[in-house]
Chains A and B, each alone.
Chain A
Amino acid sequence: MVDKIFYFIMVPMVYLAFAWCAVGIMWKVVSILRLPKQTHTLKIFPEKSAAGLRATIEAFTMPSVRRHQPVLWFFLGVFHLGILGLILSHLDLLPQINLVSAESKHMLGNGAIGVAVTVSVLYFLLRRFRTPIREISVPADYLILFLLFLIFITGDTISWANSWNPDGFVLTKQDFGAYLNSLVHFTFTNPRDLLTGSHYVVIVIHVLLANLLLLALPFSKIMHTFFAVPLNRLRRV
């Protein structure tokens, strides 16, 4: 029974979560695009040259946060760059992509990226318990950060516990790559046959949590990923 549940989490649920997330994001974006546009300008002055480009740069670099909350800005930078790094490092698991050597046992960043995002998200979470942020926070704010923290900490566990085993690497980049490759090619191979390490259960939990994140994402504040640029354009263009 447990094997069946683990298989469901590691294969069918991954497909369901990705499909749900993609449809949810598209639905959300389309539902906003179908609404009427603002009738008058919401610009802030003085006007800046190359306003569209500036809005895009501001969306990615958050200069107002750097100015007013430098510590928050530092962790936001680490977190967002870290997320980019994590996406790349997971894609790099595929045998077809080799950002680091195909023979490397480690993922991209040797586990450092995971630690960076874990520390950042822990900062965001703890910050929410302090006045005045506590007063404006709602349960969903804590839950999404806690979910991210759990995903990262299980990812760290997979990455670091794996290489600290007295027998050396139990599971390597190639093993994870084989699992991901089977997902990409819809082979429906049982991941247990590809990931033979003793901490398979941690991998299952990591994937389960990631699935939950994908399911929640279209309804969460993470959707700001898709709206940060258009929002900044309202202020500048």
Chain B
Amino acid sequence: MDETRKQELIKTLSSRLNQAMRMYLDNCTRCGTCIEACHAYASEPDIKYSPVGRAQNIRRLYEKYFKGAGKLAPWLSEAIEFDDAVMKKVYDTAYTCTGCRRCVTYCPFGIDTQQIQSLAKQLLIVADMEPKVLSMLADMSIAKGKNIDKTKGSFATAVSNLETEVLERWRSEAGAKAVPLDVQDANVLYIALAGKHSIIPAASIMNAAKEKWSLSYFEAVNFGAFVGNPQKTKEIADRIIQEATRLNVKEVVICECGTAYRVMKYMTGEHPFKVISFIELIARYLQEGRIKLDKAKLQGRKVTYHDPCQLARNGGVYEEPRYILSHLTDDFVEMTPTREDNWCCGGGGGLVAMGEKDFRMKSAKVKVDQFTATGAQVLSTACENCHTQLSDLSEHYKTGVKVEYLSDLVSKALVQE
């Protein structure tokens, strides 16, 4: 590694040393309480997959460049310099961390591994070692934002092609657009994913609730956050913020994507609109009696629910999915452990987008054991990453469990009076 690159890395490390990061890097006593919090370690007990094991790479670099003891007696803290071998280790630990933050609940200090690994990911970008697929996807999202006027027409055409499928689920009033776009002063700006699976169920539910809503031109997923690039994360989120501001919407509703929800709700500052998840919106419709569901659709099948980490532990949406499920089935069973203690599915942090199927399957064995122990035939969830990962797991381990989006279950159970 040449000196210029090394200096760039030191500068990047320095730029991330705010109060929280300094305290995280300085105060770990390496008590090891966090070790068994990680699903990857629980499935494959290798210390590099433990939260503290992952953080040690960054901590040793920090000791070397920012601590007197690390400069004078590096052997004391095993302080290390930037080089290619070290960065390879950083890669192995940063992109095997899903950022689920389960370990934060174990640590007696609450040291945030996701924060430390986001710093690790930023270092990998500077070292030109980040997964290129994630950078490419982030760049595509940003380019779409810059050229939106050129793509609006083709997007509108693609969306109009979905209308028949939406109407099959819910017959809207004559003349009403099944998937409206560019609705000024809408109550809801719905941010979907790239794919009809996150548009059709949502559209049918909002139409059933007679909502004044508009579909966003932009996809919710934030690859900037996955790749660990704060600038790109902001640029991708800004596209949606600008659209919501332009349309003067009351609420931005994020589809079933945990990271998109957390980024928009908690990591982009104050907005002139409210940010909620689509799950919260469905629960509200049920509470207000704006939609009704038919329990017969899930009759005879036991249902469980996987709390997506970014939606639940890192977003606070726990009760709403359970409230929705209470309207869908009388045969619901919780996983053990559940809620904030729930095991991560093992697909977050960009792992699903990166592929990495072999690692994802091995590192989430504990998740398979957890959901198969419920005896449920249907595993519902509310995050695309989780859905893909859980489906892959179910198929790989031949569990026979069907993984379903909560919105899809709701959409199919809508009662048309």
Tell me if A87 is interfacial: C-beta within 8 Å of chain B.
no
Q: B69 to chain A: which residues have CB within 8 Å?
A: 140, 219
* B17 pairs with A35, CB closer than 8 A: yes
A62 CA to B108 CA, complexed, in Å: 5
Instruction: Report the minimal beta-carbon distance from A59 to chain B, rounded to whole angstroms.
Output: 8
Binds A, one of B31-39, B165-173, B179-187, B395-403: B31-39
In the bound complex, do residue B33 and residue A224 qualify as a contact, i.e. CB atoms below 8 Å apart?
A: no
| Segment 28-80 of B: residues with Cβ below 8 Å from A | 28-33, 35-37, 45, 47, 50, 52-53, 56, 67-69, 75-78
Q: Are B33 and A230 in contact (CB under 8 A)?
A: no
The CA-CA distance from A227 to B29 in the complex, in Å, is 12
| Interface-side segment among B128-136, B212-220, B308-316 | B308-316
Q: A45-B313, A45-B315, A143-B76 are in contact. Are A133 and B266 (CB under 8 A)?
A: no
Q: Is B105 an interface residue (CB 8 A)?
A: yes
Q: 1/0 per residue A21-48: CB within 8 Å of B?
A: 0000000000111011111111111110
Interchain CB contact under 8 A, A138 and B30: yes
- Which of A63-71, A109-117, A151-159, A166-174 forms part of the interface with chain B? A63-71
Contact, CB under 8 Å: A138 / B77: yes
Q: Assuming A36-B19, A64-B105, A65-B108, is B30 touching A45 (CB within 8 A)?
A: no
What residues of chain A lie closer than 8 Å to B10, measured between beta carbons? none
| List of A residues within 8 angstroms of B372 by Cβ | none
- Whether A65 and B27, one on each chain, are in contact in the complex, defined by CB atoms closer than 8 angstroms, is no
A interface, by DSSP: helix, strand, loop or mixed? helix
- Chain B contributes a number of interface residues (CB within 8 A of A) equal to 54
Contact size class for A? 35 or more
B33 touches A68 (CB 8 A): yes
B251 contacts A by Cβ under 8 Å: no
Across the interface, name the chain A residue whose C-beta is closest to B317.
Answer: A45
Please give, as numbers and ranges, the residues of chain B lying within 8 Å of A41 by CB-CB distance: 266
Q: A38-B18, A132-B32 are in contact. Are A227 and B26 (CB under 8 A)?
A: yes
- Are A227 and B27 interface neighbours, CB within 8 A? yes
Is A44 in contact with B110, judged by CB distance below 8 angstroms? yes
CA distance A157 to B185 in the complex (A): 79
| Residues of chain B lying within 8 A (CB to CB) of residue A45 | 312-316, 318, 340
* Chain B residues whose C-beta falls within 8 Å of the C-beta of A46 in the assembled complex: 316, 318, 339-340
Partner of B47 from the list A42, A47, A132, A228 (CB cut-off 8 Å) is A132
Task: Mark A residues whose CB is within 8 Å of B.
Answer: 31-33, 35-47, 58-59, 62, 64-65, 68-69, 72, 132-133, 135-141, 143, 219, 221, 223-224, 227-228, 230-232, 234-236
5 example contacts (A-B, Cβ-Cβ < 8 A) are as follows: A44-B105, A133-B31, A137-B30, A232-B109, A234-B20
Residues of B within 8 A of A (CB): 17-20, 22-24, 26-33, 35-37, 45, 47, 50, 52-53, 56, 67-69, 75-78, 101, 104-112, 115, 266-269, 312-316, 318, 339-340
